[in-house]
Amino acid sequence: EKGGFDHFMLKEIHEQPKAITDTFRGRMLVEENMIKMSSIDDNLDKFLNANRIIIIACGTSWHAGLVGEYLFEDMARIPVEVEYASEFRYRNPIITNKDVVIAISQSGETADTLAAIKLAKSKGAFVYGVCNVVGSSIARETHSGAYTHAGPEIGVASTKAFTTQITVLTLIALKLGKANGSLADHTFKDYLKKMQLIPRQVEKLLKIDEHVKSIAAVYKDATNCLYLGRGFNFPVALEGALKLKEISYIHAEGYPAAEMKHGPIALIDENMPIFVIATNRGHYEKVVSNIQEIKSRAGKIIAVVTEGDTQVREIADHVIEVPDTEEALTPLLTTIPLQLLSYHIAVMLGKNVDQPRNLAKSVTVE
Ligand code: M6R
């Protein structure tokens, strides 16, 4: 059942090229230069006339929502707010029938997300679901939606659900951007072409597993780690930290790289590993200067860089290369080595990777 892998988590990490492909298959039509999603077409006026989009979710799905915020604002120029479902529902939120709510959930059973959906509906919002489990409570409770085609995710630590959620959000953002004229035709086309390459690029990344494992061996005994990223990769930093916390029980925090100097920099010493996402398109020079700040305080730097990078390689203690793509699509690649890294550290520490202590696959209590 684990398909020859030692753990479901590793199997699911390796399933991502297929899961991403399955999620855009039939929707992303590169030849026709279009994205076909009837759930969006049928409700296009609601999306295009929306005052704003509010994304609600928990945990990893909330991180996918944050990537969604960058995607929608960048590609479709629609204002977005991303909320923890649990905070949203208890705040007497201001929602009207001019708002579109997107609820994201792998399981489709998360109690707080479900309750937030009911609240948004009662205030007249149109609620769209992005779920993995077909026929789940959230899939049924939402007005419309799109499934991620990740297949069953057994490991408690979410992996392929995250990348397929980002895939669906990217398709929606591109489709809306084209529909409202925010994206030029050739830009849209270029994105589709780049998106089509992603599964092969993820496959390539999975092949550097041994390299990632050797880095895991160096830092497995750390007690604290920082994850830094900017822009589209800020949520990836949060997700990288969550993965490490969940399965290896090592304390980790994700931060927007520039926030480091507003506090967490005080933590840095020679025992502190800092994972920095420094791909070459997203505010690269700024991230390089953040890395220099870490270096001058003797922190250990593990950088996720674009293939061929030389500048960061000179300063970092370790680099992990990811293939080149559009900045907006980099989360689909930069996430992969961070998943592998957490996995290997947890295995090396002898932790229960698939069923970490105190955690449930779906949180059906509020
Ligand atoms: O099923 P959902 O996507 O609604 O679950 C939300 C969170 O409980 C979930 O992502 C959790 O944070 C995972 N354990 C993360 O790996």
Q: What is the ipTM of this complex?
A: 0.99
* Ligand 1 lined by 246 (C-beta under 6 Å): yes
Question: Which H or E run includes 265?
Answer: none
Q: Quote the pLDDT of residue 365.
A: 84
d(CA 66, CA 82): 6
pLDDT lower than 50: segments of the chain: none
φ/ψ bin of 222: left (φ > 0), alpha (ψ from -120 to 50), beta (otherwise): beta
Q: What is the pLDDT of residue 255?
A: 95
- The per-residue pLDDT for 360 is 86
How many Å apart are CA 174 and CA 247, to the nearest integer? 34
What atom of ligand 1 comes closest to residue 58's alpha carbon?
6
- pLDDT score recorded for residue 71: 98
Taking a C-beta distance cutoff of 8 angstroms, is the pair 346, 354 a contact? no
Q: Is the CB of 44 under 6 A from ligand 1?
A: no
**Residue 335 CB less than 6 A away from ligand 1:** no
Q: Which amino acid is at 122?
A: S
DSSP symbol at 158: -
How far is the centre of ligand 1, averaged over its atoms, from the C-alpha of 333 (Å)?
20
Residue 111 has a pLDDT of 95
Supply the pLDDT for residue 346: 97
Closest listed residue to residue 254, CA positions, set 192, 335, 313: 335
Task: Tell whether ligand 1 has an atom less than 6 A from the beta carbon of residue 107.
Answer: yes
Q: Which residues are identified as catalytic?
A: 361
Q: What are phi and psi of 330, to 5 degrees?
A: -60, -30
- Separation of 284 CA from ligand 1 center, angstroms? 31
Which residue among 363, 364, 365 is best mutated to probe the pocket of ligand 1, counting the most ligand atoms within 8 A of its Cβ?
Answer: 363
E-assigned strands of the chain? Answer: 28-29, 34-35, 52-57, 80-84, 99-105, 126-131, 144-147, 224-229, 251-256, 273-278, 300-306, 318-322
> Which residue puts its alpha carbon closest to atom 11 of ligand 1?
59
Q: Name the pTM for this structure.
A: 0.97
Q: How far apart are CA 88 and CA 118, in angstroms?
A: 12
Ligand 1 touching residue 158 (CB < 6 A): yes
Per the CB < 8 A criterion, the answer to whether 206 and 13 are in contact is yes
* Residue minimizing CA distance to atom 8 of ligand 1: 59
Ligand 1 close to Cβ of residue 342 (< 6 A): no
Please state the atom number of ligand 1 nearest to the C-alpha of residue 113: 4
Q: Which of 339, 327, 329 is nearest to 20 (CA)?
A: 329
Q: How far is the CA of 254 from the centre of ligand 1 (A)?
A: 17
Distances (CA, A) of 280 to 222, 227, 275, 321, 334: 28, 17, 16, 11, 12
pLDDT of residue 79: 96
